[in-house]
Structure 1
Amino acid sequence: MVRKKDHFWEYVEELDGRFKCNLCERDFAGGAPRIKSHLAGVKGHDIDICAKVPDDVQAEAYLAIGGHSKKLKITSNSSNVEQRKKMSTSMSNDLHQTTILEMCKKKDKSAVDKLLTQHIILNNISFNVVQTPAFIRFMQGVAEYGHGYKLPSYSTLRTKLIPNSRIEVEEYISNVKKSWVTTGCTLMSGIWSDMKQRAFINIIAYSPRGAVFMRSIDVSQERKTGFFLKQIISIVIEEIGPNHVVQFITDNATNFELAGDMLIGKYPHLYKTRCAAHGIQLLLKDIYEEVHWVQKVIDDAKSIVAYMYKHTIVLSLMRGHKNNKELKHPCTTRFASNFLMLQSILNVESELRLLIVSSNWRGLDYSKKDIAKEVTNIIQSTEFWSQGHEVLLVLEPLVRVLRLVDGDGSTAGYLCEAMERAKEEIQHRCGNNQEKYIRMWEYLREGVLKI
């Protein structure tokens, strides 16, 4: 007999006018249409269905017999305890998903990454979620539990897990507030703006037992005067109890300075303390604005980042030369981000140098523009790279102190010593050219006194 063109014959053994299934070892009369019906698992085609057919073969056979709008009844597999999912109009999607899950079983990390990417995109979840400690702990917990872990149902999550979590939070807040009677607490406040330029005042109460978020107030339409801020903070102090608030920490803005003075006038026992992290950020801003050789290096680095991310074609070409490493972007209100941006550029110096001499770069129309020529000159400049390393060398001790104080817990006990050590280390690193760094030292000395 001449072998049939239909590839489904490879799953059976051809007999004289009949066929024998290689999977379930049963034989039937007929040709390719009956083979497809047998493998597809559709009852009602005058043929018994195969109980041992793999999911991907069954799905392919189902589609081959035109099962796009019909539901497929699945039989139980003797080696599989769980009942297979019923296939419907989304069979092609299910087939694709099955393939990914099979890859996951083989410990293909790229397949798992793809499932995570789909989950984030389809549910409109912020990409930053993968950096949060809670998400990282969840993934570690699932990995340690093993493949048998099953997600809780919507009903279980809504009626049991979320309410239980709320009870735990309320117990935590209650225990922290009880500790204020013994230790007192510190109020921390500041103003921040979101992507829609709405301004909010956040107020947090901190004590050795933990931190409690007290209030967030939308002040977008208000004048943020010292008197206005003093009124808001006073309401929270009265809510906690004046005798339980011992310190007020805020940024160094003039309106908050005035609000702090008025609060001390109203509550004489209250201490006013400047935010150390905000003070160091302002110190980095002063160094950037007043030390011109530092400013030039950082401005050149900003030009590189701005141009590389301005055009899709340029960005794609850059990522290809840097193995998809991303450059850091500067933040308007966090001046330490300039340090991180410069650091990310210096880490890919060789890749950027190779990029601008490549034929792909020279062939781009964008590379012929004035801004592209300026960026090319910066990357080709030996002075930019040498002074860039010098800026990192000088500012690194100060950024290290910022990381020390910009976190949970009290740092007042060792802040002054940390700043003095940073100043001495910077002076030591800059000892060969004091004239070049004299202005920076002046700001460091003033910064230690202000912080």
Structure 2
Amino acid sequence: MSEAMDVMATPPAAGSAIQLSAVEEVRKADIAQRRQEAMVILKSIPAETLKAKHAERFFKDIVHTNPTNHQQLRGQCMNCTALISSTGSARFASHLATCSMAPADVRDSFKALERAKEKKSSAKREALALANEESEVVAEEHEAGQVALKQQCIRAGIKSQEVAAADDAIANFFYANGISFSAADSKATSLYRTMVRAIQKAPPEYIPPNANKLSGPLLDGCYDSLWNKMAARDPDGALKRKFGATYVSDGWDSCDHLPLINSAFISNNDGGMYWRSVDTSGKYKSAEYCALLMIQDIYDFGPTNVVLIITDTCATMAKAWALVEDEFPWISVLCCQPHVVSLLLKDIGKVKEVATTINDEATVVSWFANHQFPFAKLREMTLQKLGKSKELVRAAATRFGTHTLVGQRLQELKSSLQATVVDADYVAKNYKDASNTEEVTATGKSIRTNKGATTKRLVLDDDDFWTRVDTHVAVTKPIMKMLRRFDTSAPAIGKVYSSWFELGEHIQSSDASYKTKCLDAHTLTAGHMAILILPLLLT
């Protein structure tokens, strides 16, 4: 029975006729067995003692098997001819136990059955009485527990309200101040959880620090604490002397538009250590000025601990390298690999065929991004085709690797784009090419392209647009992977030479018509890299 129920509880796989048939057979057998058991019970019990819910289900099916005639409904004792108004065995047994005309052995047998029945009933009554006593005790304990539970529920209810209030307060703090949700890290060792635990341990009268305290003594204490942690990494300087350190310097604008030159030291793969930022406002960032900042940082850190300098490849830095190497002859220089790879992508993007493809990709992306109805229709078609939302990617200025990402996303949305431009509602708009419009925004002027007809022709594969996109992605995707390989905090200097060699092999095996021009750009860049990296590999 349990096996049958288990089979019934597991729905058959769609389209599996054999499995469905087997389940149906098991179900039929189960129903037949239950019906047979019910019929046996009904045969042994008079129909008039059945409750309606039982009779309605089973009585009609087995009424022909029940004793329904008047002769069968009444019985007669064979010894004293007394009439017994039942065909059941209980009344016959009771009569025969006391019948004076019945043989003695028959009376004794039925009396023994009566005594056994009475003994069984007595034991059942005693067990029932004991159970009632136990239930009363349990009821009393339960009632006492319910009182405590009510008190506990009140406390739990108050506690849940307090937890909800704390959650709301933290959430409102995040929302109102624009704090990234990633700051609420659930790891036990995160700063977020550490802060919460510290607040929980604080006394009830604790007052959190205000802005002045955060920007004053607490900031100074954090600064000193971080330097102490840095010193604890290598207290005696043994790791610096053994592995050496790399000095990294680069310039960018701060959030308040101050021109900064930042520096950091990386030693024994510890993730790096920020050193300082110099505000160069009003200063001419010549090679001599940049070299002076680097030399000063290296002397402060310990010149014998530095073995390598990494910066970008601008002309100013190239001159500054010579000055620093003249000051510290044992120090080598190396250009920033993500910067160099990005410049390679920039050079490849200048190839006429690649530039044309990039411009066409930008035309398609800009059209859908700048016009509401095409954008909404593309979203609708993307959900229909892919079953999920996916947006076009726009290239970022000075981030030449993003052109590869633009092409990849166009490949993913190819079917959605083509379905969009042939949709009846879209076609009814009859979009045409128009001159670009200049829009004035709060951040300045922007150019809005209006090439609706060109976009449709490109999406429908005019001028082999999709073939050119595929070739562009195939050629530049390995370069993008190489960019990501170096644009991390993981040690990668040992992969520089092999990565440039493998990239040349990839471009050589490409079927692109412009691979020769790409190889020329790669050879020029890789040649410069070999001049810089070989001394490091030979030392």
Fold-level match, TM-score > 0.5? yes
Question: What residue is the counterpart of 2:469 in the other structure?
Answer: 388
Measure, in 1, the Cα distance between the counterparts of 2:527 and 2:357: 28
Distance in 1 separating the partners of 2:404 and 2:253: 23
Residue 289 of structure 2 corresponds to: 228
CA distance in 2, matches of 1:139, 1:366: 50
Structure 2 residue aligned with 1:173: 230
Q: Aligned in 2, Cα 1:221/1:299: closer, same or farther, shift over 3 Å?
A: farther
Match of 1:334 in 2: 399
Pick the aligned partner of 2:508 from 400, 411, 427: 427
DSSP-derived class of the 1:322 partner: helix
Q: CA deviation at 1:151?
A: 7.2
1:78 equivalent to 2:153? Answer yes
Change (3 A) 1:340 1:176: farther
CA distance in 1 between partners of 2:375 and 2:225 (Å): 46
Residues 310-347 of structure 1: CA deviation (Å, up to 9, x unaligned):
24554444333334312222122221111112111211
Letter in 2 for 1:440: C
Quote the Cα distance in structure 2 between the aligned partners of 1:359 and 1:232.
Answer: 64
1:371 to 421, 426, 451: 451
**Counterparts in 2 of 1:48-447, with a 5 A limit?**
78=153, 81-83=156-158, 121-125=175-179, 130=182, 138-139=185-186, 153=199, 169-176=226-233, 178=237, 179-193=239-253, 198-210=258-270, 211-289=272-350, 291-323=351-383, 324-362=389-427, 369=434, 370-381=450-461, 383-430=464-511, 436-447=514-525
Q: Deviations over 1:351-410 (max 9, x none)?
A: 111122223434558777442222222222251111111111112222222222221233
Match of 1:415, SS state, is helix
Q: CA deviation at 1:120?
A: 5.7
| Partner residue in 2 for 1:27 | none
Q: Is the 8 A contact 1:251 1:275 kept in 2?
A: yes
CA contact 1:318–1:355 (8 Å) conserved in 2: yes
Deviation of the 1:155 alpha carbon: 8.9
What is the SS of the residue equivalent to 2:252?
A: strand
Q: Tell me how far 1:224 sits from its aligned partner.
A: 2.0
SS in 2 for 1:174: helix
Contact 1:176 1:209 in 2 (8 A): no
In 1: Cα distance, 2:433 partner to 2:256 partner: 36
Aligned pair partner of 1:448 in 526, 532, 538:
526
Going from structure 1 to structure 2, the CA distance change for 1:262 and 1:303 (only over 3 Å counts) comes to: same
Q: Tell me: CA distance 1:417–1:307, structure 2 relative to 1, closer, same or farther (3 Å).
A: same
Change over 3 Å in CA distance of 1:297–1:193 after alignment to 2: farther
Q: Deviations over 1:127-149 (max 9, x none)?
A: xx64xxx76xx24669xxxxxxx
Conserved in 1, the CA contact under 8 Å of 2:269 and 2:491?
no
- Alpha-carbon distance, 1:154 to partner: 8.8
Counterpart contact for 1:76–1:84, Cα < 8 Å: no
Q: 1:426 Cα shift? A: 2.2
Query: How many angstroms does 1:444 deviate by?
Result: 1.4
CA contact (8 A) 1:305 1:327 kept: yes
Q: What is aligned with 2:128?
A: none
C-alpha spacing 1:233/1:85, structure 2 compared with 1 (3 Å): same
Note if contact 1:252-1:279 (Cα within 8 Å) is conserved in structure 2: yes
Structure 2: distance between partners of 1:176 and 1:316: 54
AA in 2 matched with 1:272: V
Shift of 1:439: 1.1
Deviations 1:133-187 (A, max 9, x none): x76xx24669xxxxxxx7764995968xx99987874444113453324432110
* SS of 1:204 mapped into structure 2: strand
Q: In 2 relative to 1, CA 153–362 (structure 1 residues): closer, same or farther, beyond 3 Å?
A: farther
Contact 1:397 1:426 in 2 (8 A): no
TM-score (norm. length: structure 1): 0.64
Measure, in 1, the Cα distance between the counterparts of 2:514 and 2:255: 39
CA 78–443 in structure 1, closer or farther in 2 if over 3 Å, else same: closer
| Residue 206 of structure 1, CA deviation | 0.6
Give the partner amino acid of 1:334: R
In the superposition, the TM-score normalised over structure 2's length comes to 0.55
Q: Match for 2:497: what amino acid?
A: C
Give the match's secondary structure for 2:179.
coil
- CA 259–139 in structure 1, closer or farther in 2 if over 3 Å, else same: same
In structure 1, distance between residues paired with 2:291 and 2:354:
38
Go from structure 1 to structure 2 and tell me whether the alpha carbon gap of 1:362 and 1:216 turns closer, same or farther (over 3 Å shift). Answer: farther
Q: Shift of the alpha carbon at 1:424? A: 0.9
Cα distance, 1:82 vs structure 2: 4.0
The CA RMSD over aligned residues, in Å, is: 3.9
Whole-angstrom CA distance in 1 between matches of 2:256 and 2:360: 29
Q: CA deviation at 1:447?
A: 1.8
Q: Secondary structure at the match of 2:415?
A: helix
Is the 2:240–2:268 Cα contact (8 Å) retained in structure 1?
no
Secondary structure of 2:522's aligned partner: helix
Distance, in Å, in 2 between the alignment partners of 1:85 and 1:429 is 64
The question of whether the paired residues in 2 share the 8 Å contact of 1:361 and 1:367 is answered with no
Distance 1:166 1:197 in 2: 24
Sort the Cα spacing of 1:120 and 1:321 in 2 relative to 1 into closer, same or farther, 3 A. farther
The one-letter code of the counterpart of 1:403 is R
Kindly tell me: are residues 384 and 297 of structure 1, through their superposed partners in 2, closer, same or farther at Cα, counting changes over 3 Å? same
Correspondence for 2:53:
none
